[in-house]
Structure 1
């Protein structure tokens, strides 16, 4: 899978970070919730946008791997990653 060269962005409603991947030659809109970032990538309460994006970039390898696995299992046009996607049974 390739990454579309679009910069990740904190959503206006501050509920997540939007990013894109290319899957089967088409771009897929992806979003990881702030709740997932807080639970699995940092513990800082109410971070600013810069800190959220730094955390996203620092955890991008794991975020991308989870997104790719989820897309392989269930191809969709829009993908949302939540804390449940990062929990291990």
Structure 2
């Protein structure tokens, strides 16, 4: 089971929200792009930082599930960048 082990934070260039997930003894640094939050998590363009973090928090279940799948698919990866395409339904 994964858990968030640090508070999410907006990247200095405002391109995404960084967070970390832990699975067992392994931690993985993750970023979800602002564009993905706008496209999939109802974040309005140009939103203030508080709203960005609220959208991230509201969508964290799905965001962390996608990140977890990526970690399992690439067990040696130490960082993950989630883009809008990562949230499309898989067939």
Partner of 2:85: 84
Match of 1:38 in 2: 38
Superposition TM-score, scaled by structure 2 size: 0.90
Q: Report the secondary structure of 1:68's partner residue.
A: helix
What aligned pairs does 1:13-52 form with structure 2 within 5 A after superposition? Answer: 13-52=13-52
Gaps of 5+ in 2: none
CA-atom RMSD, angstroms?
A: 1.3
Looking at structure 1, the residues matched to 85 and 8 of structure 2 have their Cα atoms a distance apart, in angstroms, of 21
Q: Which runs of 4+ in 1 moved over 3 A?
A: none
Unaligned ranges ≥5, structure 1 = none
User: Under a length normalisation based on structure 1, what TM-score does the superposition of the two structures give?
Assistant: 0.92
- How far apart in 2 are the matches of 1:43 and 1:28? 25
